[in-house]
Chain A
Amino acid sequence: MRLPDVERGDTLRSRTLIRIISAVSGIRLPDAARVAFYHKGFVGPMFGAWTQAAMRGPSEWSIGERELMAAMVAHWNSCTFCIGAHRAIAVRGTDPQTVNACLTDYRTAPIPERLRATLSFLETMTREPDKLDATHAQAAFSAGTSQAQLVDAAAVAAIFNIVTRYADALDFTIPTEEEFDKAAGMMLKRGYS
């Protein structure tokens, strides 16, 4: 990582946790977790609370669908770490071929129309937020997305427009596919808080 203090931990407790979790899990603790442990007096707890609510709180979207949305935002932001991390979680709740088809081209992937229309909204939100307007939301509603679903999806996209940026700005180490898979299991058990 570009900031060594973030990578190793800024307190005895966090450094110890990083070592223990790495030893018990058998993988290098991913940099996303190291960021979550760092500088707890700043944004970490509040950002963690929003992320947990958006990704694991009550929603008409499944966890797998929300992880797919996260992977798509990562794809649109060219964030290798987050594509890998959230694809690995998404495929535990959604058919891997469907996840891969979305990452290739969600417009032709075998997914429900409301999910396709929601991803279209999220793509504009991510890539051209200045152009996002009521017509984009209306298109999602017309495809069967509820207002609550679109709000929930927008929260996921807002959060991953943040995460993908710090993953790249800090130059996260890219885990192997096996490490992504092991980390996915941990993320499904413990969530984001």
Chain B
Amino acid sequence: MESFNVNQQLAHALRAVVTGSGGEADASLRAAALERAAGGSPIAQPYDDLARQIGEAAYRVTDAHVVAVRDATGSDKGAFEIIMSACIGAGLSRWDAAVRAIEGAGDAAS
């Protein structure tokens, strides 16, 4: 199905950019933030508090969460990358769940 293929390709491409080489923060840290916000294992502080909070309830993120990560990464860009990585992790995990559910229903119907 075309819509499925287009969206899946874009989701995969987005994940690759998050965890790829084109950023200021370490790629492994971005990947860890992505996974943490999707419910993955704890990571080093102060990144863990921010990534977990973004995953669970981003409206509860505080100035202190962001300042701590900004100080740890050394730049606004670095902090931005961690925030976006976590946000994208939370979104992509939900996309994956939706794909499994839709494919599962398709399998059940066939």
Give me the interface of A with B, judged by CB distance under 8 Å: 2-6, 10, 38-39, 41-43, 46-47, 49-50, 53-54, 57, 59, 77-79, 121, 125-126, 129-130, 132-138, 141, 147-148, 150-152, 154-155, 157-159, 161-171
- Nearest Cβ in chain A — how far from B24, in angstroms? 8
State whether B94 touches A158 (Cβ < 8 A).
yes
Contact A137-B105, Cβ < 8 Å, known A39-B77, A79-B59: yes
Q: Is the CB of A46 within 8 A of B13?
A: yes
- Chain A residues with Cβ under 8 A from B79's Cβ? 3
Contact with A along B1-23 (1 / 0, CB 8 A): 11110110011011001100011
Contact of A138 among B3, B10, B108 (CB under 8 A): B108
Beyond A77-B59, A133-B101, A148-B3, whether A42 also contacts B23 by CB under 8 A is: yes
Contact sample, A vs B, 29 pairs, CB 8 Å cutoff: A2-B63, A3-B79, A3-B80, A4-B76, A5-B75, A5-B80, A39-B77, A41-B23, A42-B81, A49-B10, A53-B6, A57-B6, A77-B58, A78-B57, A125-B94, A125-B101, A134-B101, A137-B101, A138-B108, A150-B102, A151-B3, A158-B94, A158-B95, A159-B91, A161-B94, A164-B58, A168-B59, A169-B54, A170-B66
Residue of B nearest to A133 (CB): B101
Q: Mark B21-60, 1 if CB is under 8 A from A, else 0.
A: 0110000000000000101000000000010001001110
Distance between Cα atoms of A10 and B80 in the complex (Å) = 12
CA distance A151 to B100 in the complex (A): 11
Q: Are B104 and A134 in contact (CB under 8 A)?
A: yes
Nearest CB of chain A from residue B108's CB, rounded to whole Å: 6
On whether the beta carbons of A132 and B98 are closer than 8 Å, the reply is: yes
Main secondary structure of the interface of B (DSSP, over half): helix
A6–B80 Cα gap in the complex (Å)? 8
Closest to A57 in B: B6
Of B81, B88, B99, B102, which is within 8 A of A47 by CB? B88
* Chain A residues within an 8 Å CB radius of B59: 77-79, 168
| A-B complex: 8 closest residue pairs judged by Cβ atoms | A134-B104, A5-B76, A162-B91, A137-B105, A154-B98, A158-B95, A165-B87, A165-B58
A43 and B90 CA atoms in complex are apart in Å by 15
B14 touches A43 (CB 8 A): yes
User: Are A46 and B17 in touch, CB under 8 angstroms?
Assistant: yes
Given A77-B59, A154-B102, A158-B95, verify A50-B10 contact (CB < 8 Å): yes
Residues of A within 8 A of B86 (CB): 165, 169
Q: Across the interface, do B95 and A43 meet the contact criterion of CB distance under 8 Å?
A: no
Assess whether B11 is in contact with A50, with CB atoms less than 8 Å apart. Answer: yes
Query: In the complex the two chains form, what is the Cα distance from A15 to B24 in whole Å?
Result: 21
